[in-house]
Amino acid sequence: MAEGNDTLTAALTPTQRLAAAAAGFTADTLPPDTLEAAKDYLLDHIAVSLYGMQQPWSGFVADMVAADGGAAQASVYGRNLRVPAQAAALVNGTAAHGFELDDWHAGSLSHLGAAVIPAVLAVAERDHRHGRDVLAAIVAGYEVMARAGMSGIPSIIMRGYHPTGTHGPVGAAAGVGNLLRVSPETMTWALGIGASCAAGLMEFSQDEAGTMVKRVHAGRAAQAGVVAVDLALRGLTAPRASLDGKYGYCRVLSDAPNPEALVQGLDEDFEIRRNNVKPYACCGMLHAPMDAVEDLMRRHGIRLEDIDDIVIGGSRAVVEQHASTVIESVMAAQYSMPYAAAVALLGRSLDPRMFDEGRYRDPELVGLARRVRLEIDPEIEAVFPGKLGGSARIRLKNGRQFESRIIDARGTTDNPFGREDIVAKARALCGGLLPVAAVDELIERVLAFDRAGDAGGLARFLDASVRGGPA
């Protein structure tokens, strides 16, 4: 019997094998630590989304879906607005990715939570699903999105695709498909439909004005995941090898496809264990160099007026895509290594307001950023993209020189945030948006989400709390 099953499995494509695994994850069979991790990322997601919902780009998307109307199926976080599930996923995903504070996965160079969680929560609210099922669906979505990404990274981003926008529809489809308990065949179709929605360009990282479109990449990915599953459930088919075939996802988007990543070690470990939490409101590639700068400034008691030269070392991707010192927007600031280094030189890395509209025009920050030089650090390039390390070298006017190299930034898998750190981050971000008692209850609700009989209660609580009404 076992031999027959092995033969059957071998006949499946990697896409089908990944789809079958994702369809089969349940809260009863997943390791308990993966469900606890899902709670942590859910809390982080809600906090960063509420913060991101205050930004103008999130408002533009919310206004659009409100004007379009439609069935009141799912909530836009904290805005007392219910719209079709796919529309809620679009807005909430945009808000989650709205201020560069959302979780990220180094191996796939993408933001898993911003694409997966809005899709899963919208459908869970629409269909009145249990909290335990939501947590399992998050694990499934993270697993598939990470593996889809690892099948083509780093080539995908170096060719100019934005990974969250390209991997995201596949991961969101996996999360929603798992939530709705679809068959392996239907999951295969859903992943294929999601793969055909892959989109997102890195040109925003080259534009001095930064622009806003990057924020929508995650929202659009979440929306595509909802649409993909809804279509697959209606019988819309997609190829058996959408991710790994001759013209499948990884071979089309990447110059160095690695389809084995789709299934290697599948069911033996889980990528949600290798996800990262952001302490700083900027691109994750900039975090380790920021840590290195703050380490030098603190450890050696360096004063700004004594600095003669500042060199940041990073991967080729950092040097080629994050070197601008002409900052004309929030987006440009959040993607500029020189600007992020200037924030770190001031010891203000943890303050998201340092990236607010107009702050990037501060003469002190501008002056510091223009003094920062970038170079490829061979040791950092050697471990990219699995680790997004960075280095800093500061030379003083008296000739003394100090250097720090950080392989694992704060919040990453090997230098992780514990639950208490994630809770503290949530309190800091939500403190100005919700009453203190509501922040406490939000944390309690999410950390007990496995006991939530109707996942939609979380959205209703957010509406009541943000409006200041009774919970």
Q: Which residues have C-beta within 8 Å of that of residue 259, sequence separation ≥ 6?
A: 14, 151, 243, 244, 248, 250, 251
* pLDDT the model gives residue 3: 42
Q: Alpha carbon 462 to chain centroid distance?
A: 21
What pLDDT does residue 2 have?
Answer: 43
CA 281 to chain centre: 12
Produce one character per residue of 438-451: b if its CB has 16 or more CB atoms within 10 Å, e if not. Answer: bbeebbebbbebbe
Predicted TM-score (pTM) of this structure: 0.93
Residue 341 corresponds to which amino acid? A
Q: Which two tokens stand for residue 58?
A: 């999130």
Lowest mean pLDDT among 163-172, 184-193, 263-272, 323-332: 323-332
Lowest-pLDDT range of 173-177, 324-328, 433-437, 456-460: 324-328
Q: What are the tokens at 178? A: 């798992």
SS (H, E, C) the chain: CHHHHHHHHHHCCHHHHHHHHHHHCCCCCCCHHHHHHHHHHHHHHHHHHHHHCCCHHHHHHHHHHHHHCCCCCEEECCCCEEECHHHHHHHHHHHHCCCCCCCEECCCCECHHHHHHHHHHHHHHHHCCCHHHHHHHHHHHHHHHHHHHHCCCCHHHHCCECHHHHHHHHHHHHHHHHHCCCCHHHHHHHHHHHHHCCCCEHHHHCCCCCCCHHHHHHHHHHHHHHHHHHHHHCCCCCCCCCCCCCCCHHHHHCCCCCHHHHCCCECCECHHHHEECCCCCCCHHHHHHHHHHHHHHHHCCCCHHHEEEEEEEECHHHHHHCCCCCCCCHHHHHCCHHHHHHHHHCCCCCCHHHHCCCHHHCHHHHHHHHCEEEEECHHHHHHCCCCCCEEEEEEECCCCEEEEEECCCCCECCECCCHHHHHHHHHHHHCCCCCHHHHHHHHHHHHCHHHCCCCHHHHHHHHHHHCCCCC
Is 50 exceeded by the pLDDT of residue 15?
A: yes
The predicted pLDDT at position 1 comes to 35
Classify residue 89 by burial, with Cβ atoms within 10 Å: 0-12, 13-18, 19+: buried
pLDDT of residue 467: 63
Q: Is the sign of the CA dihedral 268, 271, 277, 280 positive or negative?
A: positive
Residues of each domain in the chain carrying CATH 3.30.1330.120: 284-406
Name the pLDDT band for 179 (thresholds 50, 70, 90): very high
Of 206 and 423, the structure prediction assigns the larger pLDDT to 423
- CATH 1.10.4100.10 residue ranges of the chain are 12-276
From 170, 181, 180, 103, select the one nearest 143 (Cα to Cα): 170
pLDDT average, residue stretch 52-70: 97
CB 146 within 8 Å of CB 138 = no
Q: How confident is residue 304, by pLDDT bands cut at 50, 70 and 90?
A: very high
pLDDT score of 386: 86
Task: Read off the pLDDT of residues 89-115 as tens digits, 9 standing for 90 and up.
Answer: 999 999 999 999 999 999 999 999 999
CA atoms within 13 A of residue 25's CA, in its CB half-sphere:
35
User: Which class would CATH give 284-406?
Assistant: alpha beta
What φ, ψ does residue 276 adopt, rounded to 5°? Answer: -130, 150
Average pLDDT, the chain: 95
Contacts of 463 (CB under 8 A, 6+ apart): 75, 78, 79, 80
Q: Whose CA is closest to 177, among 136, 216, 219? A: 136
Q: How far is CA 233 from CA 20, 178, 193, 194, 350, in A?
A: 15, 12, 12, 13, 44
The CA distance from 340 to 362, in Å, is: 13
Q: What's the pLDDT score for residue 6?
A: 52
Number of neighbouring beta carbons within 10 Å of residue 61? 25
CA neighbours within 13 Å on the CB side: how many for 402?
20
pLDDT of residue 9: 58
Q: How confident is the model at residue 471 (pLDDT cuts 50, 70, 90)?
A: very low
Taking only the tens place, the pLDDT of each residue in 345-373 is 999 999 999 999 999 999 999 999 999 99
- CA R_g for the chain: 22
Q: Is 175 within 8 Å of 222 (Cβ atoms)?
A: no
Cβ atoms 125, 75 nearer than 8 A: yes
As a whole number of Å, the end-to-end CA separation of the chain is: 55
Q: And the tokens for 84?
A: 């079709």
Q: Name residue 201's beta-bridge partners.
A: 161
Specify the pLDDT at position 470. 36
Q: What is the pLDDT of residue 10?
A: 62
Neighbours of 428 (CB within 10 A): 15
What whole-number percentage of the chain has pLDDT above 90? 93
- The CATH code of the domain at 12-276 is 1.10.4100.10
Give me the mean pLDDT over the 112-135 stretch: 98
Name the token pair of 406. Answer: 């950080």
Is pLDDT at 63 greater than 80 in this prediction? yes
| Sole residue written with tokens 């230098």 | 415
Q: What is the model's pLDDT at position 211?
A: 86
Check whether 8 has a pLDDT greater than 80. no
Which residue is it, tokens 């926008």? 165
User: What distance in Å separates the CA atoms of residue 212 and residue 334, rounded to the nearest whole number?
Assistant: 12
